Amino acid sequence: MDAQGRGRAEDIDPADQWVLNPNTGEYELRLAPSAPQSGVPRPRRATPAAAGARAGGASGRSATATPDTREIPEVVPGPRRRRGTPEEEPLPGRRGGRGRTKTKKSKGKRILVWTAGTLAFVVVGVSAAGYLYYQHLNGNITAISDDGAGTGGFSKDRAINLLVIGTDKRTGKGNESYGDKESVGHADTTILLHVSKDRTNATAMSIPRDMIVDIPDCETTQEDGSKKTIGGSTGVRFNTSLGQDGRTPSCTMRTVTKLTGIVPDHFMVADFNAVKTLSTAIGGVKVCLAKPIKDSKSKLDLSKGEHVIQGEQALSFLRTRYSVGFGSDLDRIKLQQQFLSSMIRQMKSEDTLTDAGKVIDLAEAATKALSVDSTIADIKKLASLGQEVGKVNTKNITFTTVPVVDNTDRATVLPMPGKAEQLFETIRDDVSLSDVKKKEKQKQAAKLKGKRADASEVRVNVYNGGAEAGSAQATLNWLQNDVGVTKSSQLGNAGKTLSKTTLEYDPDQADQARKLADLMGLSASALKPGEGNSETNSQGLPAMVLTLGEDFKGAGVKISGSSSAADLDVEKNTADKEKCAG
């Protein structure tokens, strides 16, 4: 938005005209004195800020990128009433009659802040002043088609899955010095951010770039707008899901879905410059080292202890791998997670949220540095997404990595059998990795409390969903001959492989489910109640569905399992804790 549109000379920075009032927490237009002003109303043009305010009102109308140029009367306001003093009757000739006293706002909510990511990850919010730059910021955003690989858009009434991709493409000033300057831009750093439906917690799962996966066929939109289907690949590195053979981020989305069973709502892509500009915009990111690092490859040279890094130094920190741990990409992921945790804390701190200049710098940097899928390439949509993500407390944002084992070549890794699928299932089921959901644990435990049916009344169909061959028949024999569950049937293999054994049933079969859980040692998390979960048995009567997973140890052997994902055996840490790397 140009300065002329707000009555100032065109050599004035528009941001300098809007000042944060510490008494109200709102931005106010401060013009330099010119001709004396009278108290007589005169017409003026509505600012984009007013248009933004109307867009956020009860009417539900959305703001457009075109400023509202309707003539509206401007009235010089009277002196500001101190908060806490009685409301006075409006003076003649002054606007009044609203009769509402402003409630005190917390500092964290005084500014509606938006910014899309750290390494494209943290979405936090746009300042009130940011709406003045609505058209300008929208022009900064680079949109890439998701080619139907996503859900079509996040929703406020369900969990959110955001795929964040850091590419190794050497675009931007100075980045050609890092070598491989002709890189097509592979998926060098990838994080799947899952925000729970109730917004109490989030899981940020790193996907190792050297993990061997299958990449499906993917339809991509070319630069000229044409469509092209790029053939898939079997048993290749995950990072080749982007860039290789012309693959776009939508191919990475499809690869993640094939790997995890989770369909991302959106993606964000950041290159080297995103790290440099975003870390600088917030005044640096604090990191901690347990030992000094001097890495000839990344050019990082830091002593032991705490440091505040930004720009080139921040990029070097995130690229370092040979001087930490065993020098693998998995060790580098730990550095990246520490950096992101610290950046989240910095973005959500009062130092950032109440600093108008820092917020505007961050909005500028984020919109220029990040590429997003076309379904969300709009400031208002990004702001809405930011508000949803921002509801999660940092202590309940958990970082983890897909569990892996070494491949035979020792240069790549494979998803760890059982454990990787268990983590994917936990995210799919919207279960927290943190300890935030004590109520959820209690709810799970409640499924095992109550009346038990007699064994002879239990009707169940048994399937093999990942256990050793013959397990379903062995279980049927044990149920019928050893524990008296005579109304049971064995129906062969399930349609999918499960890491954990599950028992699905209708609510009116809860007493049967509890009895079978007692007999088999099923945990509360294995019980899946829900209308329509049962099916008919060989006699045409409703029966529960028991699917033996990879955790099944044999007929008659108790199945021990956790009733909470907080006990899931994966390495994890939360964003509120500072850990020293090294």
What is the C-alpha separation between 187 and 204, in angstroms, rounded?
16
Domain of residue 281, CATH code? 3.40.630.190
Q: Are residues 242 and 332 in the same domain?
A: yes
Q: Are residues 372 and 235 in the same domain?
A: yes
What pLDDT score was predicted for residue 477?
96
What angle in degrees, to the nearest 10, is found between the helix axes of 419-428 and 249-260? 110
What pLDDT score was predicted for residue 437?
53
Please count the CA atoms within 13 angstroms of the CA of 398 that sit on its side-chain side: 26
Those residues of the chain that have pLDDT short of 50 are 1-16, 27, 31-131, 170, 172, 174-180, 561-564, 566-567
Q: Are residues 451 and 372 in the same domain?
A: no
Last residue of a domain, one of 384, 402, 436: 436
Angle at 444 between CA 206 and CA 401, to 5 degrees: 10
Q: Are residues 427 and 552 in the same domain?
A: no
Sequence-separated (6 or more) residues with CB below 8 Å from residue 178: 170, 272, 319
What pLDDT score was predicted for residue 135?
77
What pLDDT score was predicted for residue 573?
81
List the beta strands (DSSP E) in 34-109: 42-45, 71-74
What is the C-alpha separation between 248 and 144, in angstroms, rounded?
8
What pLDDT score was predicted for residue 55?
38
Last residue of a domain, one of 436, 470, 502: 436
Last residue of a domain, one of 387, 404, 436: 436
74 within some domain: no
Q: Are residues 265 and 307 in the same domain?
A: yes
What is the C-alpha separation between 119 and 338, in angstroms, rounded?
12
What pLDDT score was predicted for residue 109?
34
What pLDDT score was predicted for residue 560?
58
Q: Are residues 455 and 343 in the same domain?
A: no
Paired sense of beta strands 142-144 and 370-373, if any: parallel
Q: Are residues 405 and 479 in the same domain?
A: no
What angle in degrees, to the nearest 10, is found between the helix axes of 311-319 and 329-347? 140
194 within some domain: yes
- Convert the pLDDT of each residue in 34-77 to its tens digit: 344 433 333 333 333 333 333 344 333 333 333 333 333 333 33
Q: How many domains does the chain have?
A: 2
Give me the count of residues in the chain. Answer: 582
Q: Are residues 264 and 371 in the same domain?
A: yes
Q: Are residues 294 and 239 in the same domain?
A: yes
85 within some domain: no
Angle at 167 between CA 161 and CA 170, to 5 degrees: 160
What pLDDT score was predicted for residue 30?
52
- Domain ranges, residue 540: 444-562
Q: Are residues 284 and 195 in the same domain?
A: yes
What pLDDT score was predicted for residue 363?
80
7 within some domain: no
Q: Are residues 419 and 484 in the same domain?
A: no
103: number of Cβ within 10 Å:
6
234 within some domain: yes
- Convert the pLDDT of each residue in 486-519 to its tens digit: 999 999 999 889 988 999 999 999 999 999 999 9
Q: pTM of the entire structure?
A: 0.61
36 within some domain: no
550 within some domain: yes
